[in-house]
Amino acid sequence: MGKQFFGTDGIRGRTNQGAMTAAMAMKVGQAAGARFLRGTHRHRVVIGKDTRLSGYMLENAMVAGFTSVGMDVVLLGPMPTPAVALLTRELRADVGVMISASHNPYEDNGIKLFGPDGFKLSDEDELAIEAMLVGEDLALAASPEIGRARRVEDARGRYIHAVKASLPSTVRLDGLKIAVDCANGAAYQVAPSAFWELGAEIVAVGVTPNGKNINERCGSTHVELLQETVVSSGADIGIALDGDADRLIVVDEKGQTVDGDQIMALIGSQLAARGELRGGGVVATVMSNLGLERYLSGQGLSLERTAVGDRHVLERMRSGGFNVGGEQSGHMILLDHATTGDGTVAALQVLSALVQSGKRASELLHLFDPVPQLLRNVRFGGGKPLEAASVKAAIADAEASLDGRGRLVIRPSGTEPVIRVMAEGDDAGEVEAAVASICHAVEKAAA
């Protein structure tokens, strides 16, 4: 049975519409609370959020939901998603909640749930919660058993301490000038503080949230602001996070963007050189560039590919014993230090390598030349165009043209009526022709 509410990263949508209303948030709190009422101990949930205006509304609704079924609530305030995962474990909570729509605009919001181990919920747990959302009203706690809510004052300090502990005690950032763009999001206080406490000089942007400017022309999805800041301030490197700080994009001292593929190449090869890389390689999605695969192969390392989404990357990492994985878009999962993507922790691994190498960022961070890669989206009105004989023929022809020199990834979007067509290869002309022919075939089949 498919899921009605949960997507690849929790429940997400436009606020005050569909599943993202206060009433639904309260019911999610009741259902998740009921699911994790296990044993006779006093149960506890940790709730964090990013800086969206709607976060107040959803937070209060979820507090009502959890307390009504007998769970105590610990409120963290604005904190990165990985901080919620960490504090769920550290505070021995039964469940953790992050209220965020990640890199989406402020009008959207979402609910991400973590189990007591700090990992995102299993399909089994999500399906059980969904069944409660559409079923009968849940049993409420007796009056003496209603939960309490409180705000924890040391959450920020706890997370900063954990982030700093991901570096060897001998590594400091003294002498580095770092431009940091926090996307006016959840890490606007903790990320600059962590880097500064380690000795760096900080030039911070995207640190004045007003409820409506999260991810607005800033952060990892809009790196132009950081590029300008790095160059104008003479920074050694730039760090861009997204709204909930589980994603990282780097800018070198010349203002050039460094994506997740290059970051995975650096971290993976650095750990391998120290004998600390597990699994014999790195886990990434089908969207990662062929150049990354070839670079890792040259280092004697493998690239394991999964479906798009950090959830799939994490599942493969755990099943295969890997400790480094991520996405080209910037999600970096380092299981030695975090149970989910953590842009700040990943940034510190990059900064540590920069300090220890003595190189400029532009020399250190461009480990391979990406092969030409092109992605186009084809919107369609209905039906299943990928099943059309003409589309299958176009895909087969494109595969033959790229044989041995590139690859194709064609997939329907999981959230909208769009077919995503990606091709990459050594010859940019062949890549363009392959994508154009498949998109044309899809358009005709969908007409």
Residue position matching structure tokens 């982030």:
163
> What are the angstrom distances between the C-alpha of 97 and each of 76, 103, 311?
10, 17, 16
> Considering only CA atoms, which of 272, 222, 223 is closest in space to residue 252?
223
CA nearest to 379, candidates 416, 342, 406, 349:
416
Q: Which of 121, 114, 34 is nearest to 71 (CA)?
A: 34
Extract the tokens encoding 1. 């049975």
Q: Where are the beta strands (DSSP E) in 43-142?
A: 44-49, 72-78, 95-99, 108-114
Alpha helices in 287-388 (DSSP H): 290-298, 310-320, 343-357, 361-364
Catalytic pick among 102, 288, 352, 437: 102
Q: How far apart are CA 223 and CA 238, in angstroms?
A: 10
Q: Which amino acid is present at 68?
A: S
Give phi and psi for 374, each to the nearest 5: -135, 130
Helices 428-446 and 389-402 sit at what angle, rounded to 10 degrees? 180
Q: Give the span between the Cα atoms of 145 and 316, in whole angstroms.
A: 40
102 is known as an active-site residue: yes
The CA R_g of the chain, rounded to the nearest whole Å, is 22
Contacts of 253 (CB under 8 A, 6+ apart): 230, 235, 236, 237, 360, 361, 362
Alpha-carbon distance 13 to 24, whole Å?
A: 12
Catalytic residues: 102
